[in-house]
Chain A
Amino acid sequence: MNRTSKAAPIRVLIAKPGLDGHDRGAKVVARALRDAGFEVIYAGLRQTPEEIVRAALEEDVDLIGLSILSGAHMALFPKVLALLKKEKAGDIPVFAGGIIPDEDARRLKKAGIRAIFGPGTTLQEIVTTAQRLARSAA
């Protein structure tokens, strides 16, 4: 949002909402984004939607990535989007990854999740999409 020079790194929050201890995926993505020059704020496990939005605002991120493998995505993702909107931060793009059935993914995209990555996605695809989303919001 405040990228005033092209050299400024993209700031992205990576968080795992809800009760879900599987953080390997989030860590792999965090490292790939680091290696692509992102500043990754790694919020880690068991974050409530409120904590995620609070962190996104304090850290002034350009982008939010949510990882979930618990099955609670239909409850938690819309909550994050609604809270962002409530804080007038609905312009921060949110992408997601994890185990999300195609039908749910379609509905979540309609609700405003900008990209959803399932198993088998390459890291390059995630990095490229994240760069595109950050640029589109800037």
Chain B
Amino acid sequence: MTRAARMPPAARAILDGDRRALARVISQVENRDPKVAAISRALYPKTGGTPIIGITGPLGVGKSSLINLIVARLRELDRSVGVVAVDPSSPFSGGSVLGDRIRFERRADDAGVFFRSMASRGEAGGVAAATREVARLMDAAGFDVVLVETVGSGQVDIAIRDIASTSVVVLVPHLGDEVQTLKAGLFEIADVFCVNKADLPGADLARKDLSELVGLGAGRSGWTPLVVSTSTTQPSGVEALWTAVETHERFLDSSGQRGIEERRRLSAEIVELVRERVGRELSVRLDRDPDLRKVVDDVVSRKIDPREAAERLERGSAFRR
């Protein structure tokens, strides 16, 4: 049997551009369907070549509206694009209202665009647990560019940097003074700063503050973030925004940083997967395995502390079958 013949039909369909198959497998990824493992494995070698552009920033700054214009720009350039847009799940009901699609204006028959809304399903950091894998599916499906819109981010929601090759941090006028730009977290992950709603008063000051920030010196990778201004109500600046993104993508190649960054992202992904699996397995065993229950008993009765229990588990056979 050839390798191609062993490929799961859903993986083959995704490679062949079947959008229904893509939509269904995305749901399976979100729902942690065990069938996904074989599909992901078959598709993985086909991935890695596509720029994954993260669009992040606080709620209401215009991320969805910008994505609508970026997609229009990419279609002008005859490039196909997959979009995954994340909105929060309710910590109370688990439900969500995914509203990023309302900004999206594309002809219903344009096969060069695929838009998928996604709920964060309890994940912190600005994206869902499934977002990375869904972006990768879109990569495998052959889109020229993948855009990932995060939930409205706070200062520490930086998980997008573990998914995107270029991160665009979108801000608006009057979010705060220049000291805000010095603070750690969100401002550190920007490859491109975008001051949106540039038609509003205060936009020049916001841009100046950011220009001063980036003027303080390049980041660890040697890249100095670019600053652009955009407006989506009186559309302007989107071409410059996309040019800035492409400039960063070219820098990744010319500097050798792409490989370094990809290695970092994939290492983080492996660590995360192991942590999740070991954690899940251990939770079950601490509950069911009599020997391990004994360790917990000792902690409950204050004979040993939780740290010592963890060390015993690590030294012992807890992780071996």
- CB within 8 Å of B: which residues of A? 1-5, 8-9, 11, 30-31, 33-45, 48, 50-51, 53-55, 57-60, 87
Contact = CB atoms under 8 A, between A and B. Distances in A.
A34 B90 contact: yes
Contact of A2 (B19, B31, B102, B116): B31
A40 to B, nearest CB: 5
22 contacts: A2-B27, A2-B28, A4-B31, A9-B119, A9-B121, A34-B90, A34-B96, A35-B90, A37-B95, A40-B95, A40-B97, A41-B98, A42-B99, A43-B102, A57-B20, A58-B114, A58-B116, A59-B101, A59-B116, A59-B117, A60-B26, A87-B20
A1 B114 contact: no
B284 interface: no
A36 B109 CA distance: 33
Contact of B95 (A39, A43, A59, A87): A39
Given A9-B119, A58-B23, A59-B117, A4 B33 contact: yes
B31 A40 contact: no
Contacts of A8: 30-31
Contacts of B119: 9, 39
Nearest to B109: A50
B283 interface: no
Interface string B115-144: 111010100000000000000000000000
Contact of B24 (A1, A9, A33): A1
A31 B115 CA distance: 22
Interface centre among B30, B33, B108, B116 (most CB of A within 10 A): B108
Contacts of B35: 4
Given A40-B95, A40-B96, A4 B28 contact: yes
A60 to B, nearest CB: 4
A30 B114 contact: no
B94 interface: yes
A8 B28 CA distance: 10
B32 interface: yes
Contacts of B114: 58
Interface in B66-102: 89-90, 92-99, 101-102
**Residue of B20, B99, B101, B114 ringed by the most chain A CB atoms within 10 A:** B101
B33 A36 contact: no
Contact of A34 (B19, B28, B31, B93): B93
A43 B101 contact: yes
Given A41-B117, A59-B116, 11 more contacts: A1-B27, A4-B33, A33-B95, A34-B93, A34-B96, A40-B96, A42-B99, A45-B102, A55-B115, A57-B20, A60-B26
Interface in B1-52: 19-20, 23-24, 26-28, 30-33, 35
A5 B101 contact: no
A8 B119 CA distance: 11
A2 B21 CA distance: 11
B132 to A, nearest CB: 19
Nearest to B117: A41
The 9 A-B residue pairs whose C-beta atoms are closest, nearest first, are A44-B102, A50-B108, A34-B95, A60-B23, A2-B27, A8-B31, A4-B33, A37-B95, A60-B27
A27 to B, nearest CB: 9
Contacts of B90: 34-35
B115 A58 contact: yes
A67 to B, nearest CB: 14
